Amino acid sequence: MKRKKWLVAAVVLMGLGALAMTPPAERYFEIAKNLEIFASLFREVNTLYVDEVSPQKMMRTGIDAMLNSLDPYTNYISEDEIEDYRTQNTGQYGGIGALTRQFGNRTVVTMVYEGFPAFKNGLRIGDEILKLDEVELARLTPEEANQLMRGQLGTTIKLTVKRWGEKNPLTLEFRREKIKINHVPYAGLVDGEVGYVQVTEFTQDVGREVRQAIASLKEKGAKSIVLDLRDNPGGLLMEAVNICNIFLPKDKEVVTTKGKIAERNVTYRTLNSPTDVDLPVVVLINRGSASASEIVAGTLQDYDRAVILGERSFGKGLVQEPRPLSYNSQVKITTAKYYTPTGRCIQVLDYAHRREDGSVESIPDSLKKEFKTARGRSVYEGGGIDPDIKRPAKPLSSLAIALYSQGWLFDYATEYAARHSTLVPARQFALTDAEYQDFVGWIKAKPFRHEPAIEAELKALEEEAKHERYYEELKPHVMDLRQKLAESRKHEYTLFKDQIKELLEREIVSRYYFEAGVAEVGFQYDEDVKQAVQLLRTPTEYKKILKL
């Protein structure tokens, strides 16, 4: 399969390489020539290859390989994928308003959205879906199951679910509605005067939603705002402009896009009156903040309008544009780079200049150009958005990751909720030491297994030592390490209690207070939010950072 993949891709790439080196007058000939070569190769392979091949799969492999040689964001979208693509951009689809996830061979409900059919008709977080209508879920791929869950507005669907504590499966019926995914899942006061707004993606109308949230928080007494863009992958560029417009005056430059077609270069400016140009703002970012979220952080930083706190952002300074193709398909093409008001492009990887092995390198610090913000602070291009206050992330332990990814925390939370009909408000909830020990006893009775990364590395060291004939000499040291590791693992649930307890509390609270509760219970652990609040409570320090 790999050979076929690269055979198809190589011929297509011959055309791209030739076009890049060819004068405009010869481009049409090169296009026609290489398309003819590709078509004849495709025909011969399809006819003569020793095994049966799928023309559709082989062509898709060639297309994907060709586009991936440009950058990861130039993508082909087939007719079957169009609906998911539209959902990604609009945040809307026809369905029941529930999220599901697979744990092994189980498909479970991980979130229900308040006000939609799943919530109104009694579907619960923790329910395991057994059937969609009369089709057993085990017989479907995740993609097929997703297609069945969604559908035309007004149509009905029956779910057969297994619920913890219920002896027999339940059958629930839902009428599909227009579902609008809320990408501002939480907006509230962290304390009496600091508002907090979480934005998870830049879909259609998210700018309006953020504006309304901030206006509402101001009415409730907020005198400053924490805007959380952590793990926000971006989305629609215009929504980034709209969010910047909340804090910047009308007709301020937000972002400029520049590509090889000069007449398509555009400068985007704020179009409306702002909500508040003096409201102190801290923007939270991390490695998962990309694209449109970087435009917001970078633009507010350039104008010294907000303090940026967290990790350096992802560094995606490329703009994509969808173009229609035949048979209701599309291609999403990188057409430009974007530049913040200072003129910097934050793109980290240089896809135009790959190494000989095809890998891509980042721009070295020595080549990053310096720019100045409105008040003379230094910022740099080519490395994402560098925060004004750096807070390195604290990685989760392999134990916490395994408990989460394998669904054990999820299952315990489901059982906990079944045993407790009510829960204190999310901000007040915390597992007691006795409850945490109950979980530890519960998990130790389950067939839970995980191997720490250090264990795998120790095995690799042993194998390499044997191969290089050093093992006998190193064996006592390796055995000593193994013994110490075994001793440490006896106390791992105590050692990583803080991480496991936080994840478990988030899971439990979601059963009672949904997305809002998950955000609120996390405030007690979130050091980024704590530092942002402390900064906003200290106006002199805030102004000092921004040189106000």
pLDDT in tens, 328-363: 999 999 999 999 999 999 999 988 878 877 788 887
Answer whether residue 18 shows pLDDT above 80.
no
Answer whether residue 256 shows pLDDT above 80.
yes
Answer whether residue 417 shows pLDDT above 60.
yes
Structural domain contains residue 82: no
Active site residue 291: yes
Answer whether residue 160 shows pLDDT above 60.
yes
Answer whether residue 139 shows pLDDT above 80.
yes
- The boundaries of the domain holding residue 158 are 92-180
What pLDDT score was predicted for residue 14? 46
Answer whether residue 466 shows pLDDT above 90.
no
Percent of the chain with pLDDT over 70: 95
What pLDDT score was predicted for residue 184? 96
Give the residue from 180, 210, 235 where a domain finishes: 180
Three-state SS for 156? strand
Structural domain contains residue 414: yes
Give the residue from 119, 149, 180 where a domain finishes: 180
- Read off the pLDDT band of 2 (50, 70, 90): very low
300 shares a domain with 157 = no
What pLDDT score was predicted for residue 404? 97
363 shares a domain with 407 = no
96 shares a domain with 149 = yes
200 shares a domain with 310 = yes
350 shares a domain with 400 = no
Structural domain contains residue 79: no
Answer whether residue 320 shows pLDDT above 90.
yes
284 shares a domain with 357 = yes
Active site residue 501: no
Give the residue from 342, 362, 393 where a domain finishes: 393
What is the rounded CA–CA span in Å between residue 216 and residue 377?
A: 32
For residues 385 and 391, the answer to whether their CB atoms sit within 8 Å is no
535 shares a domain with 444 = yes
**How deeply is 498 buried, as exposed, middle or buried, from its count of CB atoms within 10 A (0-12, 13-18, 19+)?**
exposed
Distance set, CA 158 to CA 126, 377, 381 (Å): 17, 59, 53
What pLDDT score was predicted for residue 174? 95
- Read off the pLDDT band of 22 (50, 70, 90): low
> Which among 289, 316, 501, 510 is annotated as catalytic?
316
Domain CATH number, residue 261: 3.90.226.10
Q: Tell me the two tokens of residue 252.
A: 């301020």
Per-residue pLDDT averaged across 135-151, rounded?
82
> Which among 127, 228, 302, 528 is annotated as catalytic?
302
> Which among 224, 289, 291, 313 is annotated as catalytic?
291
- Positive or negative: CA dihedral 110, 405, 151, 233: positive
Quickly list DSSP for 99-114: EEEEETTEEEEEEE-T
144 shares a domain with 218 = no
More confident of the two residues 135 and 442: 442
What pLDDT score was predicted for residue 29? 86
Distance set, CA 265 to CA 43, 235, 341, 343, 454 (Å): 40, 19, 15, 14, 50
For residues 36 and 70, the answer to whether their CB atoms sit within 8 Å is no
Structural domain contains residue 290: yes
Structural domain contains residue 425: yes
402 shares a domain with 387 = no
Q: Which amino acid is at 258?
A: K
SS (H, E, C) 409-468: HHHHHHHHHHHCCCCCCHHHCCCCHHHHHHHHHHHHCCCCCCCCHHHHHHHHHHHHHHHC
Answer whether residue 17 shows pLDDT above 70.
no
For the chain, the average pLDDT equals 91
202 shares a domain with 165 = no
For the chain, how many structural domains are there in total? 4
Answer whether residue 197 shows pLDDT above 80.
yes
263 shares a domain with 216 = yes
Strands 281-285 and 224-228: parallel
Structural domain contains residue 86: no
387 shares a domain with 355 = yes
Answer whether residue 15 shows pLDDT above 70.
no
- Read off the pLDDT band of 4 (50, 70, 90): very low
Answer whether residue 21 shows pLDDT above 80.
no
Structural domain contains residue 221: yes
Structural domain contains residue 247: yes
Per-residue pLDDT averaged across 385-389, rounded?
97
Active site residue 405: no
